[in-house]
Amino acid sequence: MASAVSGRARPSALPIPAVRQVVRRNSYAAVPLALLIILFVVNAAVQPQFLSQQSWAASMAVLCPTVLTAMAVTLPVLSGNGGIDLSVGPLAGFMSVLIAAVLVPAGITTPELIIPIVIVFGALTGAINGFLVAYVRLPAIIATLGMYLFYQGLGTEVLPEAGGSVPVWLVKLNGSFGPVPAVWIVFAVIALIWTLVTRGSYPRNLLAVGGDERAAYTAGVNVARLRLITYSIAGVLACLAGLMLTGLIQSGDGTVGPPYTISAITAVALGGISLAGGRGGLLGGALGGGVLFLIQELLTDAHVSVFQVSIIDGIVLIFALALNGTVEHLRRRSSAARPG
C-alpha cells in the first residue's frame, strides 16, 4: 500500500532521491514492517499450509476488512485533537445488511450501482461524523460512539436474523483470479487512488492540523473543512471494508461489524501511529492490520479459544501503545544528542 502521510525526516545515505523520500516519509512504519515480516516467517514455519495458494487467497479475504477499517481509523487519528472514528465497525457491518436486505431485494445487484451507492453512503456518514467533530465541536470519541450505536442498532433492526443473498461478483472478490488473490486487486486500486491523492497537499495539511492545530489555523489552513473531509474519507474506507466483508460472509448480518472497531484501533497502534495525531500515515494502518491478522492466525493455529484471543488482543493493544511511546522517546533522545 503506497501511502505517504508523514512529515518525518531522517538523514539517510540512500542514493536515489525518490527512494530516499519514500523511505523518509514512511520511516515511522519501520517497526510494524519488521513485525509483519517476522510474524509472516513464523507463521510460514509453524503451519506449512499457510503458504499454499488456496489458503493464501482465503487468508487475504479474511484480512481485507481488518486492514480497510484500520486504514479508515488512521485518518481521523492523524488529524489530532483526540480524533478517532469508532463507527467504522458497525458501519462496515451495516453494508452487509444494506446490500443483502435492501439493495438486492430491490433489484440492485450490479457493481456499477452497488459500488457508488456504498461509497456515497460512506462519504455521507463520515461527513456527519466530521460535521459533529469539526463544527459542533463534539469530542470525536463521543460523536463517533453515537454513530457506532446508531448503526449497530439499525443493522439488527433492518435484519434481525442474519440472511439474505449477495451478488456473485461480490463473493468472487474474495476468491482469486488465477494465482492472484482478488483482494490484491482491490488493494492495488485503493493504493493507486490514494497515491494520487497524496501527491497533493492533503497529507501536509492533515499532519499540520494533527501536529499543531493552532499553527495550522493561524497559517491559513481551513482546519474545520479538513476534518470534515478526513472523516468522510474514513467513512468511504469503512464502507469499502463493509463491501468486502459482505462478500466474505456471503449474507447480511448486523452483528458482524462492531468487533472491527476495536481491531482497527489496535491495528492503528500497531502501525506505529501516534494516537495524539500528527505523525504516521495510511500505510501504518494497513501494516498494523496485517500484523494483527498474523497474530490471530498464529493463535488460531495453536487452537486458542475465542475468549483467550480477546485477552491476547487486549494485551497486544496495550503493548503496541507502550511500544509506540518507547520508540518515540528513543528517537527524540538519539536526535537530541546529535549536534546541530
Binding residues (CB under 8 A) for other proteins: these are 6-9, 24, 197, 200-202, 204-205, 207-208, 211-212, 214-222, 225-226, 229, 278-279, 332, 335-336, 338, 340
CB of 64 to other proteins, least distance (A): 26
CB of 172 to other proteins, least distance (A): 33
Q: Angle at CA 69, nearest 5°, toward 67 and 74?
A: 95
Query: Which DSSP letter does residue 105 get?
Result: T
Q: Which is nearer to other proteins, 4 or 256 (CB)?
A: 4
CB of 142 to other proteins, least distance (A): 18
Strand partners for 114 = none
C-alpha cell at 275: 494516537
| E strands present in the chain | 176-177, 180-181
Cα separation of 245 and 247, whole Å? 5
C-alpha cell at 187: 488493494
Cα separation of 197 and 190, whole Å? 10
Cα separation of 124 and 231, whole Å? 10
What SS3 string covers 277-337? CCCCCHHHHHHHHHHHHHHHHHHHHCCCCHHHHHHHHHHHHHHHHHHHHHHHHHHHHHHHH
Strand partners for 176 = 181
C-alpha cell at 66: 481488518
C-alpha cell at 111: 457493481
CA distances from 272 to 194, 207, 276 (A): 19, 15, 12
Q: Which is nearer to other proteins, 83 or 155 (CB)?
A: 83
43 in Cβ contact with 50 (< 8 Å): yes
294 half-sphere exposure, CB direction, 13 A CA radius: 24
CB of 69 to other proteins, least distance (A): 24
Q: Which is nearer to other proteins, 83 or 279 (CB)?
A: 279
CB of 134 to other proteins, least distance (A): 13
CB of 230 to other proteins, least distance (A): 10
CB of 145 to other proteins, least distance (A): 23
Q: Which is nearer to other proteins, 144 or 274 (CB)?
A: 274
CB of 147 to other proteins, least distance (A): 23
Q: Which is nearer to other proteins, 31 or 244 (CB)?
A: 31
Query: Which DSSP letter does residue 180 get?
Result: E
56 in Cβ contact with 310 (< 8 Å): no
Q: Which is nearer to other proteins, 180 or 224 (CB)?
A: 224
Q: Which is nearer to other proteins, 276 or 321 (CB)?
A: 276
Q: Is 110 helix (H, G, I), strand (E, B) or coil?
A: coil
Q: Which is nearer to other proteins, 129 or 246 (CB)?
A: 129
CB of 207 to other proteins, least distance (A): 6
